[in-house]
Structure 1
Amino acid sequence: MNFSSCKTYSCIFCIAGDCWLLAAIACLSMHKNLFEQIVPEDQSFTSEYCGLFRFHFWHYGEWKEVVVDDRLPTVRGSLIYIHSTEKNEFWSALMEKAYAKLCGSYEALKGGTTSEALEDFTGGIAEMFELRDKCPPDLLKIMLKSQERCSLMACSIQADPNRVEAELPNGLIMGHAYSVTSVKVVNVSIPGRSGDIPLVRVRNPWGNEAEWKGAWSDKSREWSLLSDATRREVGITFDDDGEFWMSYEDFVRNFEKLEICHLGPQSLGGENETRGRHWEMCVEQGSWKPRVSAGGCRNFLETFWINPQYRVTVVDPDENDDDNLGTMIVGLMQKNRRCLRKQGEDLLTIGYAVYELAVKGLSLQTSHQSFNETLVDSSTIMIS
């Protein structure tokens, strides 16, 4: 499977309800080193072909190899589920089959988040931002920093329960996951108007003419505000390829959810040496066992302290700023819940709480948790 064939990858989504997976695959196809980590490049339909393909997925803290044969489900001679617009390109369909095998079945892939798939594809850790009601004031800074650290980003608009992937008048599609491929701050300097304008480049993985129709869209008059040098730097192309630019303000106003998957050094390979700082990552395995480590939520202070505890030291990695703060992202994953769907099992309600530890080396006891507020908690989450 040659990576060069998927660099401008576009695919068709059918039947399965896994648009979230489609956007993750589109994100992955833009990063050669990440793609080759999942799809080993020493595979093809010609050289020593045996009808089998290997894929690597990050699964609960470790990389696992999944092997599938070359049989793909069809209806009346046409591929179903995810497949490429190119008739002779099969890597995405085979990759989805391998991922379905890992999760238990194609049916198990129905419904999910793009960040969930990105974590399984990269070994990274994801965070989600609600853009309508809880958009952080420094989101642009977060997106720029994430791009600097080679993070993968995706966005979406809430689905209309009465219409399947309905197209809005502005060209965006409801219930559809998009990839965020670039964030730029461009300078406009013309008589009567000057200053920096943040822009976001978004890609519809369908790769067709369904694009944003507002300001900074393809061939819109706003591009005339930029100098030729700036336009070359931004890398403007006006094709019906599903990729388009929009202002940051329009991005926040029109999309409802942004998902960012931060990559650890094991995923970045040599890329982190040339593109700035990277994240340090640690994975811990744990469980809640009745009468041993299942203390319940904070409403049960007498037993809350017996929940699993992990001590973390946070330092300030940015010497050039003056806030003396560091960033820590905490994620929880539930094991094998997709595989248990056939048995009627669903996601469990889980969560975490972060406290400041005054005395190093000690675990938190009931007395500390009774009289100290959490620095932050997860509220209640039921994801991945």
Structure 2
Amino acid sequence: MEEEERDECRSEGLFEDPDFTCDDTSLFSDYSTPIAKLQRTITWHRPQEICVSPALFPDNVNEGHAKQGSLGDCWFLCACTILIKNKHLMDKVIPPDQPMCGDGRYRGCFHFRLWRLGHWTEVTIDDRLPCIGSMLCFSRCQTPNVFWIALLEKAYAKFYGSYERLWAGQVSEALVDLTGGLAERLNLAKGGLEEELGTEQDSDRVRRRTLSLSLLHPVRNGCAVSCCTHSSHGGAGEVDQYHAMSVMEWLDVTTVSGGQLQLLRIRNPWGRRCWGGDWVEGGAGWSSIDPACALDLQGRTKEGEFWLDKTEFLSQFDDVTVGYPINKEGHLQSIYTGNLLAYSHQLVGRWVRGHSAGGWRNNNSYCTNPKYWLKVAQRGEVLVSLLQHKKCRNNEQYMQRTAEDGNNTKHQRYQAIALHMWKVEKKRFNLSRMLNKPPCGSTHCHAYEREVVLHSHLEPGYHLLIPSAFLPGAEASFLIRVFSSSPTSLSALKTPGPSLPLEADGEWETSYFHGMWVKGTSAGGSRNFRSHLQNPCFQFTVCDDPASKPATNVRITLHQSRDYTDLHAIGFHIYKVPEGFSEVTLPRDDNPVASCVPHCYTQDVSLACCLFPGVYAVVPSTYQPDCPGNFTLSVERRIHRRVVECQERLVRPIQEVSHISVMHR
């Protein structure tokens, strides 16, 4: 599709994007945001129809900052600040030498690159922009004839599916989309640094990172910092809740009394200063520092910018988002140490219901989650990120949010995810035993975020990474990324197959049993409970066939008839029935000959094994007693038959017919 768009751009006439048309389908997704009131008032114009002598960039890059319009995308505009600070990133996102009107090569189209799930995606748009009258409706540059931000915003809207889908978001997500790097949202310490340390037993509670501005001094020229308010503090500013701003610089200033004061220059995407307090023009704060210094600092502020001190900053803002610096070679720089993270790897994975969506660590099915080896060659700093991805029904080529997220709540957009890591002394280990130990590192609990980041300094050796969603059965694709200062390798841990594999050839005989766990009578729970053998038992026979091998392949599947949102943890055991006993009088102390455990929160669990001739009983169970429900048990036994050569030929092909039912109203 992108190649076709390029061809159209080269053809005569001005390009009109067929995939992102100038109508309501590009503006709105579900008409749930305040811009829905603009319906039927928006017109579309090219830059040369809006102003005289339009340009893509200003002569002075510092005059190209964004000014927010009627769209609530301050989070995206704050992220764009990193492009202004880093020309190599700007050139990556907006390839240089794209002609505007007046250049003979101009065809009315522009090309952009945005990062999506591990790869850069090219997005092509036409330059017709939404306007009210002859003025841009949404974001624009401070300089009226500069259009890079309005065009990038349109490409980003196409990337997400519509302009309305840019209403409300996280700065961290936009930073990653624009750089392909990492961004972290950190707490602001109120009145000082705060650290929450988990105990060894409370392994999900780890150090919660909070920001010290001095920490960022070594990387302040390359990173992007945004600050956000979650509520209206009722302080000196007029900023309301859920608004993001950019931190342009912070510095230490000596006061006239000889003390030290930290000042921050903040930029509001609204394009006005909207701030009171001691550091407004003529405010009392300026009298506390040298007049020449005060004059210099006040001269640095542009439209929409203001100064405040650290105390005001901590009281007025709730958290900050920091985008990691990226050098021209594409390597990240740590915001914690300043180290260059020159080594990187990434792997795509997926949580699949009934197979690898095991949920959080309190579930018996946790060990079924995907697992990854991280091999560290020598001690170094390591960052591991887990980024989840959800496809959207409409416009899967670009969009990253689900089609159902009309009210933009985190809980609808993303699963709660976390990443845990264990140090493994050797590659052959007991998984269950290891998972009972506290991890050597993890993210802070499960968070409803698109991406979570684990930061650590690791010794040489093997480390096991397990990404998980909080809810068992929650499906999503994800990307594991590793950035390190020393050589590392990342690989998926192959899940071993059953110890007694099935043969592929031959015929199979299947028996079905239907049963029910009834609270108080036949819902006995797992073998951890004395009531286990109260569970239903189902007998089957493995025949002694002279033509068979010493053992017969058997495949057993247990299916629970419950909605996937309300599943029990299920499993089963297979017992050998001694001669003279029935399955309902199995000796209580007998060990099973085979088991499908641990109990998993899935609709189906299955086990393949080889059994010698005799009578067996299957005991299906829930993990906890007194969990009622219906179930179906299928037992498949392989039948050995002599191979017969068939000479039959198909006389005529079978025609497949599809029937479509149409409801008539």
Change (3 A) 1:214 1:38: same
Residue in 1 that maps onto 2:247: 180
Change (3 A) 1:127 1:307: same
Residue in 1 that maps onto 2:372: 309
Change (3 A) 1:277 1:271: closer
Q: Pairwise CA RMSD of aligned residues?
A: 3.4
- Of 299, 310, 315, 1:248 maps to 310
TM-score norm. by structure 1 comes to: 0.80
Residue in 1 that maps onto 2:113: 56
Residue in 1 that maps onto 2:438: 372
Counterparts of 1:314 and 1:255, CA distance in 2 = 41
Change (3 A) 1:194 1:5: closer
Q: Does 1:296 align with 2:369?
A: no
Counterparts of 1:3 and 1:362, CA distance in 2 = 60
Change (3 A) 1:156 1:348: closer
Residue in 1 that maps onto 2:270: 206
Q: Deviations 1:31-76 (Å, cap 9, x if unpaired)?
A: 3332222112201313210111011111111212111001112233
Q: Deviations 1:112-131 (Å, cap 9, x if unpaired)?
A: 11111111111121111232
Residue in 2 that maps onto 1:31: 86
Counterparts of 1:249 and 1:69, CA distance in 2 = 46
TM-score norm. by structure 2 comes to: 0.49
SS of residue in 2 equivalent to 1:120: helix
Residue in 2 that maps onto 1:120: 177
Residue in 1 that maps onto 2:632: none
Counterparts of 1:88 and 1:117, CA distance in 2 = 25
Does the aligned pair in 2 maintain the 1:265–1:278 contact within 8 Å? Answer: no
Question: What is the percentage of aligned positions where both structures have the same residue?
Answer: 26
Give the AA of the match of 2:433: S
Residues 187-266 of structure 1: pairs in structure 2 closer than 5 A: 187-188=254-255, 190=256, 193-210=257-274, 212-227=275-290, 236-237=298-299, 239=301, 241-265=303-327
Q: Does 1:359 align with 2:416?
A: no
Change (3 A) 1:186 1:36: same
Counterparts of 1:66 and 1:258, CA distance in 2 = 29
Residues 128-167 of structure 1: pairs in structure 2 closer than 5 A: 128-131=185-188, 135=194, 139-147=212-220, 150-159=222-231
Q: CA deviation at 1:9?
A: 2.9
Does the aligned pair in 2 maintain the 1:125–1:261 contact within 8 Å? Answer: yes
Does the aligned pair in 2 maintain the 1:302–1:366 contact within 8 Å? Answer: no
Change (3 A) 1:371 1:67: same
Does the aligned pair in 1 maintain the 2:225–2:246 contact within 8 Å? Answer: yes
Does the aligned pair in 2 maintain the 1:128–1:258 contact within 8 Å? Answer: yes
- Which stretch has the larger CA shift, 262-271 or 83-92? 262-271
Q: Tell me: higher relative CO, structure 1 or 2? Use CA pairs within 8 A at least 6 residues apart.
A: 1
Change (3 A) 1:360 1:99: farther
Structure 2: unaligned runs, 5 residues or longer: 1-55, 196-209, 393-398, 407-411, 451-665
Change (3 A) 1:6 1:353: same
Give the AA of the match of 1:247: D
Give the AA of the match of 1:311: L
In proportion to residue count, which structure has more strand?
A: 2
Residue in 2 that maps onto 1:323: none
Give the AA of the match of 1:147: R
SS of residue in 1 equivalent to 2:172: helix
Does the aligned pair in 1 maintain the 2:265–2:301 contact within 8 Å? Answer: no
Q: CA deviation at 1:90?
A: 1.7
Q: How many pairs are equivalent?
A: 361
SS of residue in 1 equivalent to 2:356: coil
Counterparts of 1:364 and 1:227, CA distance in 2 = 66
Q: CA deviation at 1:246?
A: 1.8
Counterparts of 1:364 and 1:86, CA distance in 2 = 63
